[in-house]
Amino acid sequence: MSAGPTRRGLLAAAIAVAPGLFLVANAAPRPPGSAASARNRWDLLIDTTRCDAGCTACVDACRQEQGWGGPASDGPWIRKIEAIEMQTGRSVSLPLMCQHCAEPPCVEVCPTGASLRRADGIVLVDRHRCIGCRYCVMACPFAARFFVDAEVHDQRAATPRGKGTAEGCTLCVHRLDAGRLPACVEACAGGAMLFGDLLDPAAGISQALRARASTALRAELGLDAAIRYQGL
Amino acid sequence: MAISGVTLVPSASRTWPLLGLLGVLLGGGLASAWTMETQGHHITGMNNHIVWGLPHVCAIFLIVAASGALNVASVASVFGVESYKKLSPLSALAAIALLAGGLAVLVLDLGRPDRLVVAILHQNPFSIFAWNILLYTGFVAVVGVYLWTMLVRRQNRHTRTAGVVALVWRLVLTTGTGSIFGFLAGREAFHSAVMAPLFVAASLANGLAVFILVLAGLAVLGGPVPDAALRRRLGRLLGILAAASLYFALVLHLTWLYAPDSRAVSRFLLLEGGAWPVLFWGGQVLLGTAVPLWLLFRREGREVAAATLVALGGLVQIAVLLIGGQAFPRTILPGWQLHSTFGDGGAATYVPSLPEALLGASGFAIALLLVLLGCRLLRILPDRFAEVPA
């Protein structure tokens, strides 16, 4: 991403004028073939007020893209949660996946370094180094890391999976590296998901985050999650 | 005082059936591990909510008991209690054997045990798990040297130094094991500084209980029979340690109960969590602590029965802490009631399977086989206890 304002960013800034009226376009990730860089921090902003309780488009797209969900025991890389605020009775629907924390507990606890955080903040599992101890699954506060406990069939070429190893949302790193958006973001018909580079002040997501309050899940843990939510 | 030990000359009629049983358990454990690796862990009761189950309960019990089994040697070498000195080699041998049994279960339960070499070659220096790998292997080395200084007469002068190193190492080891859970900041049912001392106390009680059972078992097989005074002394120490173990469990729950945001954890484990409150009150508190204390301080000659109950209570304690803690629903959105097809917001369920039980039991079999082998090959046992002062 360029350091200065982009045409897309300026357009987003012009459009994002009032809360509830976000028409910000998702930012293109980065030029294909370039290496992951600490100059990027890929973030996802989820507006729960636009997330329909009956909609599972993001989940379906992820399952199709990444190939999980065959055996019933497969962990859902992304899942829809229906939440009711106990004090008020207000209900919201939200997708939940790996929060791609800047201080990820799964990476800290992994004995072999198989759980890793890329320079651009994406948290991944090196399937060749994972010994299947499941400590990362224990450590994740969001239940967003899973253990593959059955033979894997119908694997996608871009997403190797392996019985006996851990896995979770990759933020569609293979698509990002090819300059495309994550499958869930692309599939979200309600415009509830906004993807972009938090370190680019002109990016649509940066504008949106500045314009309206958002929160990270379990913010009190200080994990600095890359996934932020509005409407909670 | 130099230790002049003897090797175990076992009674064939009693030893062969035991070896047969241990062999069956070991074979069953290995077959289970093979099945779990080839079929996948879906054949077990473990799932993506309860990722550590019965094998881990057994493994953790054996590992903390390994540290506690060293009590007798530590008391003798470091604090100079002469009456325990003759038992010190057995204490050290039991510690190594228990740790080996626990580690074997942990390794065999891995999703990819074939990649164990990866864990040795690539270590994440920030992982408490990686620290524990060093602590466990180091424990075997330290206690091995400690045992060597006891068995080789000209090295006896180094026994105290080795004993001090082993004492410090075992305390660090159990602190490390407790911290595997205590450091999990994002899991309400685990995150607590009390976990480390709780594990230290549990190790002291469980390890001594197992040691008393090993001593009694060896006597049945032809080893020396401990005299009543020694049994009483070990029993009283066991009572104090069992009470200390329960004390830390109570402190943990009082801490959780005091703060509104963690109260739900205690309510789940002590009151509303289905089988877990039953296991805690019935298993750990009543059968694992109260009844043994009554046997040890109100009855004569019930040390073996009390030690059996303390050990079973210790297993139950780890099951409640480990599996019950995972069953408690994660607080992803504090103040919100969650519902999803993945089971968010609800308690996770777990029913252990036969392969898990066999794998866990094989850890005990490995530990006992190593104790028997060590006692048969090395001069581990005292020739008699008669001269031991009460």
Give the model confidence (pLDDT) of A38-78 as tens digits.
889 999 999 999 999 999 999 999 999 999 998 888 999 99
Q: Let me know if residue A89 belongs to a domain.
A: yes
pLDDT band at A163 (very low <50, low <70, confident <90, very high): very high
Chain A contact present for B191, CB below 8 A: no
pLDDT for res A20: 36
pLDDT for res B159: 94
Q: Let me know if residue A4 belongs to a domain.
A: no
Which residue in B239, B222, B242 sits closest to B231, CA to CA? B239
Q: What is the CATH number of the domain that holds A206?
A: 3.30.70.20
Q: Let me know if residue B146 belongs to a domain.
A: yes
Higher pLDDT, residue A100 or A12: A100
pLDDT for res A70: 87
Q: Let me know if residue A22 belongs to a domain.
A: no
Chain B contact present for A218, CB below 8 A: yes
Mean pLDDT of chain A: 89
pLDDT band at A1 (very low <50, low <70, confident <90, very high): very low
pLDDT for res B256: 95
For an interface test with B, which of A82, A97, A229 has the most B Cβ atoms less than 10 Å from its Cβ? Answer: A82
Chain B contact present for A110, CB below 8 A: yes
- Nearest beta carbon to residue B122 from set A109, A129, A163: A129
Using a CB-CB cut-off of 8 Å, the residues of chain B touching A130 are 111-112, 115
For B317-351, write each residue's pLDDT tens digit.
999 999 999 999 999 999 999 999 999 999 999 99
Residue A219 has pLDDT above 90, yes or no: yes
Chain B contact present for A76, CB below 8 A: yes
pLDDT for res A25: 62
- The b-or-e profile of B138-171 (16+ CB within 10 A means b, else e) is ebeebbebbbebbbeeeeeebbeebbebbbebbb
Q: Let me know if residue A108 belongs to a domain.
A: yes
For an interface test with B, which of A93, A109, A169, A230 has the most B Cβ atoms less than 10 Å from its Cβ? Answer: A109
Q: Is A213 helix (H, G, I), strand (E, B) or coil?
A: coil
Please give the residue range of the domain that contains residue A69: 39-230
pLDDT band at B359 (very low <50, low <70, confident <90, very high): very high
List the 32-91 stretch of B: residues with Cβ below 8 A of A: 37, 39-42, 44, 46-49, 51-52
d(CA B212, CA B84): 12
The percentage of chain A sitting over the pLDDT mark of 70, rounded to a whole number, equals 86
| Structural domains of chain B, count | 1
Chain B contact present for A113, CB below 8 A: yes
Q: Let me know if residue B257 belongs to a domain.
A: yes
Higher pLDDT, residue B231 or B1: B231
Q: Let me know if residue A126 belongs to a domain.
A: yes
Using a CB-CB cut-off of 8 Å, the residues of chain B touching A86 are 335-337
pLDDT for res A14: 39
Which residue in A44, A43, A64, A56 sits closest to A82, CA to CA? A56
Which residue in B254, B215, B112, B188 sits closest to A114, CA to CA? B112
Q: Is B150 helix (H, G, I), strand (E, B) or coil?
A: helix
pLDDT for res A72: 85
Residue A16 has pLDDT above 70, yes or no: no
pLDDT for res B6: 87
Which residue in B237, B308, B225, B317 sits closest to B280, CA to CA? B317
Which helix (H) or strand (E) covers residue B295, if one does? helix B291-298
**Helix, strand, coil distribution of chain B in percent, nearest 5:** 75, 0, 25
d(CA A37, CA A35): 6
Residue A13 has pLDDT above 50, yes or no: no
Residues B389/B16, Cβ–Cβ less than 8 Å: no
pLDDT for res B60: 98
d(CA B331, CA B323): 17
pLDDT band at A24 (very low <50, low <70, confident <90, very high): low
For B70-102, write each residue's pLDDT tens digit.
999 999 999 888 889 999 999 999 999 999 999
Rounded to two decimals, the pTM is 0.92
Which stretches of chain A are assigned E, i.e. beta strand? 42-47, 78-85, 91-97, 115-117, 123-125, 145-147, 166-168, 193-197, 227-230
The percentage of chain B sitting over the pLDDT mark of 70, rounded to a whole number, equals 97
| Structural domains of chain A, count | 1
pLDDT band at A226 (very low <50, low <70, confident <90, very high): very high
The percentage of chain B sitting over the pLDDT mark of 90, rounded to a whole number, equals 88
pLDDT for res A185: 98
Residue B195 to residues B179, B203, B248, B286, B307, Cα–Cα distance (Å): 6, 12, 8, 21, 23
Residue B243 to residues A40, B228, B352, Cα–Cα distance (Å): 55, 22, 29
For A109-129, write each residue's pLDDT tens digit.
999 999 999 999 999 999 999
| Cβ contact A147–B48 (<8 Å) | yes
Q: What is the CATH number of the domain that holds B32?
A: 1.20.1630.10
Mean pLDDT of chain B: 94
Q: Let me know if residue B106 belongs to a domain.
A: yes
pLDDT band at A22 (very low <50, low <70, confident <90, very high): very low
pLDDT band at A89 (very low <50, low <70, confident <90, very high): very high
pLDDT band at B66 (very low <50, low <70, confident <90, very high): very high
Q: Let me know if residue B2 belongs to a domain.
A: no
d(CA B296, CA B284): 16
pLDDT for res B383: 81
Higher pLDDT, residue A6 or A112: A112
| Cβ contact B335–A87 (<8 Å) | yes
- Tell me phi and psi for residue B5, to 5 degrees: -95, 175
Please give the residue range of the domain that contains residue B320: 22-329+363-382
Which residue in B138, B139, B110 sits closest to B44, CA to CA? B110
ipTM beyond 0.90?
Answer: yes
Antiparallel, parallel or unpaired: β A227-230 and A115-117: unpaired
Low-confidence winner among A83-87, A220-224, B36-40, B82-86 (lowest mean pLDDT)? B82-86
List the 1-60 stretch of A: residues with Cβ below 8 A of B: none
Q: Let me know if residue B342 belongs to a domain.
A: no
- Nearest beta carbon to residue A142 from set B127, B128, B332: B332
- Nearest beta carbon to residue A112 from set B119, B332, B333: B119
Residue B389 has pLDDT above 70, yes or no: no
pLDDT for res B9: 85
What mean pLDDT do residues A219-228 have? 97
Q: Determine the residue type at A49.
A: T
| Cβ contact A82–B110 (<8 Å) | no
pLDDT for res B363: 98
pLDDT for res B3: 54
Which helix (H) or strand (E) covers residue B94, if one does? helix B88-109
pLDDT for res A36: 86
pLDDT band at B150 (very low <50, low <70, confident <90, very high): very high
Using a CB-CB cut-off of 8 Å, the residues of chain B touching A160 are none
For B162-181, write each residue's pLDDT tens digit.
999 999 999 999 999 999 99
Residue A15 burial by CB count (10 A; 0-12/13-18/19+): exposed, middle or buried? middle
Which residue in A19, A30, A43 sits closest to A195, CA to CA? A43
List the 349-388 stretch of B: residues with Cβ below 8 A of A: none
Sign of CA dihedral A96, A39, A37, A101: negative
pLDDT band at B4 (very low <50, low <70, confident <90, very high): low
Q: Let me know if residue B244 belongs to a domain.
A: yes
For chain B, state the CA radius of gyration: 21
Q: Let me know if residue B296 belongs to a domain.
A: yes
| Cβ contact A111–B335 (<8 Å) | no
DSSP state of B189: T
Q: Let me know if residue B314 belongs to a domain.
A: yes
